[in-house]
Chain A
Amino acid sequence: MQYFKQNILTCIFAVIFSMQFCFSQGGKSPAITISSDRDRDGNITFVSNNDDYCDYYVILDFPELRGYTARGAYPCKKNVRTGRENLLTLKKISDTSSPGYRWSYTFYRGSINAKPNLDYIYAMPVKSGDSTRVNFGRSGEFKLYFNYRHAGDTVYACRAGKVCNNDLRDGSSKTYTSREKIVIYHKDKTFSEYDRYTTPLVHAGDNVKVGQPIAIVQPDENGKKFVSFAVYYLDKDKMLADGRKHTSLIPIFHTVNNGDCKLDEKITYVAELTGELVTQDMNKKEKEKYEKKLLKQNK
């Protein structure tokens, strides 16, 4: 009986411990999982599974490797797209008596090959024709807080892209947060992040267009409506250093009254959504399709 009680107690503690661990990670499951497949000859292939809608940079390491050789360099460092991708195969050395290995992995949201389009002009996240002001954040990562006092309650996408799954976590501290955010992955492998809204209008996996409504913002307890906006990318220069792996950019916005500029505090800007803004990220085919659609609408 005593033994039975001890076992129950151990189980309870184990459950409490695992729940605590789960909550300490925000209850989120990892965006990247690694599985291994063994073939008839004993060779082992490691496969990544990316559940998110953007690229991830994965580092798969083998602190211990006996009786195997790796096909390709290891630690294996690779950008992985959504879905399954082979990372590395361990080939068994035939005359080894006790082969064995230990592996670990880490992963970061984004691609190590990100080349931010520094000439990209962002649309402001307020309705075309409305005015807004910004404040700078003080968190270290460059963030603009858009004031919706004179801009209704709808947040509009500043740039086209695919909505990421924010219920997943990555290996850096980037997504360890309890607050919901809308993160959009762009063609140049940068991200834009919208925070402090109330109701999202888009979901993970959605393709959003520039100027598309993506969230509703409601006044806070002081009657103020703010939405934060940040642009960042996975920076390969930060991979070897401690701390943040992402670098934020100061985006250039299109405004009616100040042209295309980096926004500053204490200036009122008027938003405008132009055809040029909409077609910036489009390829030739998409542009033709868009222009045809416009022509049809005008007829």
Chain B
Amino acid sequence: MSATIDFIIDDKEIQGRPGQTILEAAQQNGIYIPRLCYREGLVPHGSCRICTVLVNGRPQSACTQPIAPGMIVENDTEKMNGLRRNIIDMLFVEGNHFCMFCEKSGNCELQALAYRLGITAPKYPYMFPKRDVDATHPDIFIDRNRCILCGRCVRASRDVDGKHIFEFVGRGPHKRVEVNAEANLADTDISMTDEAVEACPVGALLKKRVGYAVPIGQRLYDHKPIGSDIESGVAPASSR
């Protein structure tokens, strides 16, 4: 096997290494493919579908699809970005996302992606589901209103923290993240330093009492769109 794999993203010739996914190879070449459930260091999940690209005309999630010689990938096209906007809209109306009083605002990947792709308001009707908040733990809380079911906490806790505190239960529209206890987060052995807590892209899993330590206006995506670091080659390690 050759040391590099040549392929094309949006008319640009790209070189990647064998074993890389499309998303990884793109990122290494300064190309940002929008994503939500992907987080560096975690097993790709392929669930949010935002990183979907066309590979030789067929839709594939860039975070799970390995690169292959000569493949032609369509990423930053009006068609794909339109489909991504639809997915982001779906996530917004599926939960209860009120950016104006969410302490994650400015650091939220969902919000940042919406801005990057030019969404001002979702076009689908809000579902206003009834979801609960688990504030039983002294240091950490879960607000399921904001959960987008990306599974980053599930994977981080299982594979990085070695605790398996979170898991999906239920199916279809009843699917939700549950904790490994009879009832509440307080009954688990989660701690402030767990990777799981850092992994949440939205305001569903948060540390208490530090919500506004960084003021609005000085947050991650306040001045530059999400993905800018990848595009400017500043920080190939993308998401935090």
> Are A and B co-members of a single complex?
no
- A-side residues, CB < 8 A to B, are none
